[in-house]
């Protein structure tokens, strides 16, 4: 319908990001929305066909995008993260992957009807899950740390291993069917894999060393890093097709475990790039499918294969490989169920389909349909079920969005105690034990440590917490906390107490670019809040009803009271801010800081009225 390459590129990017936003709004798995959008504009309506319109650029674009996505994912694989999960992760990515390969290959042969050589090639490929599908699901599901870490590590590590396994099976096939392929060819395959690993390690160490020594300026670090990632991928891939994925994974893991401070500064930029690439690539792949391929998915052999892969092969491989580990049966069940396939399976299966057909295996014609059936089925099944299954197994953080309060003082201790009594997930963070002791004695959850420290990332599970309230005595530190977490949490959920104004300070334009949203109002500095608590002010909770409306509430409260926040019916706590829009509904509970004498007077008036 549209012959413009520019229009196709625009529509692919636009639909990808629109799908991400729509999935966020309606709380559906983003990959499901993207897949449906690509199918509608591609094979259903025929608006675009990226594979035809991009021509020879189609393959390289997807390959480079996958390399960047895999590198970004492997850059998060810090070994400190799995100190207590090393054995289960090792078992799953080795024994579990091997069992899944054997069982998956036999299923492809006996159920899908593929010949044994083709079945063992595609069986090796289908052990991959990958960061393109796992990471978006983990962001949405909010699992507890242990199962989330296992799924993340498995997805990223097994991604290149699955491709190598498929390549190894293909080399073995050529060794037996092609007289020109000798034992030397097999040795070259292992040599190419070793070269890819060493290349990734060398480039990772080299980039880390240059970052640490300051040989690359800050504004060039991200561009240089991405250029080197593409260089790493392309060189390894030229030596042997598809080994580039192993190379960039090795590079990312090497840099992740060098603990380079500037890597953290670039992480949010790389995450944004990955979201854009994942969105774009999924639209391109699904929009390029043919109607015949979609119809072939409903072949009974393919349906049977997908069902067995979902219900037998994956769960059995995880249960067998994790025997003797400290994983609970709930964790083994969840990990055994969640295994969505994604971009790598779709792209690499197309490569193997063509080379297997050229080699003379005519049954490889159904590989594209078989792959998409498995990818779409796992994405839909696992995308819609991961939250429900995690809740049933009690592996999800199903409490309402929580609050991290930074700074231990009289005001924050009173606030966290009040929120804790109201069943709001809350934790008080301070680097001084003395400031936390009174809160601990009252049963309030606390964390002793520096929130901005790198170690805190591995000691404090921040999954249950949606917002941060910075209320220390240092305005600059409060602003630093909010600015640091802006990329990951969003400024909407970052708050700090009003800054202390001195006679020579001009802070008028500072709050628009630095720090979080101002809590309560301009007068509510930390010193003023602490002074009121020390003078006997208390946190009073009032529930709004149909009879006792918010308008009546505002008439009764004193103008000197500080409105602290509102806990709505769904359990979400929202602090009041200077620019807050007043939207209060029946069932919401309001919190304010008020003088205790007023509370006593109200009690006396009520008692007198009862008499």
Average pLDDT taken over every residue of the chain: 81
**pLDDT at 517 (0 to 100):** 81
Kindly tell me if the per-residue pLDDT of 106 is higher than 90. yes
> Among the listed ranges 104-108, 339-343, 415-419, 485-489, which one has the minimum average pLDDT value?
485-489
Question: Per-residue pLDDT averaged across 444-467, rounded?
Answer: 77
Determine the straight-line distance between the first and last CA of the chain, rounded to whole angstroms.
82
**pLDDT at 203 (0 to 100):** 94
- Measured distance CA(177)–CA(157) in Å, rounded: 31
Answer whether 433's CB lies under 8 Å from 462's CB: no
**pLDDT at 344 (0 to 100):** 73
List, in order of start, the domains of the chain with CATH numbers: 5-64+78-154+172-185+271-392 (1.20.1530.20), 402-610 (3.40.50.720)
- Measured distance CA(205)–CA(226) in Å, rounded: 15
What pLDDT band is residue 394 in, cutting at 50, 70 and 90?
confident
Question: Per-residue pLDDT averaged across 251-258, rounded?
Answer: 86
Percent of all residues in the chain with a pLDDT value above 70, rounded to a whole number: 86
Using one digit for the tens of pLDDT, what is the confidence trace for 296-311?
888 899 999 999 999 9
**pLDDT at 179 (0 to 100):** 61
Question: Per-residue pLDDT averaged across 529-552, rounded?
Answer: 85
Kindly tell me if the per-residue pLDDT of 270 is higher than 80. no
Using one digit for the tens of pLDDT, what is the confidence trace for 44-90?
888 888 888 888 888 888 888 878 877 877 777 777 766 667 788 88
**pLDDT at 580 (0 to 100):** 67
Q: What is the reported pTM?
A: 0.69
Using one digit for the tens of pLDDT, what is the confidence trace for 489-537?
777 888 888 876 654 455 554 444 567 788 887 777 888 888 888 888 8
18 or 463: which leads in pLDDT: 18
Question: Per-residue pLDDT averaged across 541-569, rounded?
Answer: 80
205 or 29: which leads in pLDDT: 205
426-430 β-sheet, strand order: 446-448, 426-430, 402-406, 465-470, 494-496, 517-518
What pLDDT band is residue 101 in, cutting at 50, 70 and 90?
very high
Kindly tell me if the per-residue pLDDT of 556 is higher than 60. yes
Kindly tell me if the per-residue pLDDT of 231 is higher than 90. yes
484 burial level (CB within 10 Å; 0-12, 13-18, 19+): middle
Residue 51 vs residues 323, 341, 347, 464: alpha-carbon distances, Å: 44, 21, 12, 42
Kindly tell me if the per-residue pLDDT of 552 is higher than 90. no
């Amino acid at each position: 319908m549209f012959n413009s390459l520019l229009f196709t590129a625009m529509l692919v990017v636009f639909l990808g990001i629109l799908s991400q936003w729509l999935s966020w709004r309606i709380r559906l798995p983003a990959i499901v929305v993207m897949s449906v959008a690509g199918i509608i504009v591609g094979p259903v309506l025929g608006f675009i066909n990226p594979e035809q319109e991009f021509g020879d650029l189609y393959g390289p674009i997807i390959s480079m995008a996958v390399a960047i996505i895999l590198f970004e994912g492997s850059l998060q694989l810090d070994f400190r993260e799995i100190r207590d999960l090393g054995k289960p992760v090792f078992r799953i990515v080795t024994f579990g992957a091997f069992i899944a390969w054997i069982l998956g290959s036999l299923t492809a042969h006996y159920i899908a009807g593929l010949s044994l050589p083709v079945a063992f090639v595609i069986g090796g490929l289908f052990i991959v899950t990958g960061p393109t599908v796992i990471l978006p699901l983990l962001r949405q599901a909010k699992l507890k740390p242990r199962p989330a870490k296992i799924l993340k590590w498995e997805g990223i590590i097994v991604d290149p291993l699955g491709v190598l396994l498929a390549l190894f099976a293909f080399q073995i096939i050529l060794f037996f069917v092609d007289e020109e392929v000798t034992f030397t060819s097999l040795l070259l395959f292992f040599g190419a894999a070793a070269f890819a690993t060493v290349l990734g390690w060398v480039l990772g160490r080299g980039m880390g060393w240059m970052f640490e020594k300051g040989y690359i300026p800050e504004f060039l670090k991200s561009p240089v890093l991405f250029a080197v990632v593409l260089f790493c991928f392309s060189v390894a891939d030229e030596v042997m097709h598809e080994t580039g994925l192993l190379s960039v994974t090795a590079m990312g893991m090497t840099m992740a475990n060098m603990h380079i401070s500037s890597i953290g500064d670039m992480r949010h930029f790389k995450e944004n790039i990955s979201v854009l690439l994942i969105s774009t690539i999924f639209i391109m792949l699904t929009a390029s499918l043919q109607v015949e391929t979609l119809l072939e998915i409903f072949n009974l052999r393919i349906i049977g294969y997908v069902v067995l892969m979902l219900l037998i092969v994956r769960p059995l491989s995880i249960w067998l490989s994790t025997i003797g580990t400290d994983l609970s049966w709930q964790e083994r069940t969840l990990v055994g169920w969640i295994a969505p396939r994604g971009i790598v399976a779709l792209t690499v299966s197309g490569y193997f389909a063509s080379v297997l057909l050229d080699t003379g295996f005519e049954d490889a014609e159904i590989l594209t349909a078989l792959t998409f059936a498995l990818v779409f089925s796992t994405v839909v099944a696992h995308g819609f079920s991961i939250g429900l299954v995690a809740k049933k197994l009690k592996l999800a953080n199903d409490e309402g969005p929580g609050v991290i309060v930074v700074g231990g003082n009289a005001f924050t201790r009173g606030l966290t105690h009040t929120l804790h009594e109201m069943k709001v997930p809350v934790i008080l963070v301070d680097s001084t034990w003395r400031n936390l002791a009174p809160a601990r004695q009252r049963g309030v959850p606390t964390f002793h440590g520096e929130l901005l420290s790198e170690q805190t990332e591995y000691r404090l599970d921040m999954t249950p917490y949606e917002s941060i309230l910075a209320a220390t005595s240092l305005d600059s530190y409060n602003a630093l906390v909010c600015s640091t977490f802006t990329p990951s949490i969003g400024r909407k959920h970052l708050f700090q107490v009003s800054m202390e104004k001195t006679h020579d300070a001009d802070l008028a334009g500072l709050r628009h670019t630095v720090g979080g949203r101002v809590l309560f109002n301009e007068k509510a500095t930390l010193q003023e809040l602490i002074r009121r608590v020390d003078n006997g002010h208390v946190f009073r909770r009032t529930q709004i009803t149909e009879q006792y409306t918010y308008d009546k509430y505002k008439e009764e409260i004193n103008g000197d009271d500080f409105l602290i926040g509102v806990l709505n019916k769904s359990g979400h706590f929202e602090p009041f801010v200077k620019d807050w829009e007043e939207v209060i509904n029946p069932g919401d509970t309001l919190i304010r800081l008020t003088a205790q004498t007023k509370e006593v007077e109200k009690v006396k008036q009520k008692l007198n009225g009862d008499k």
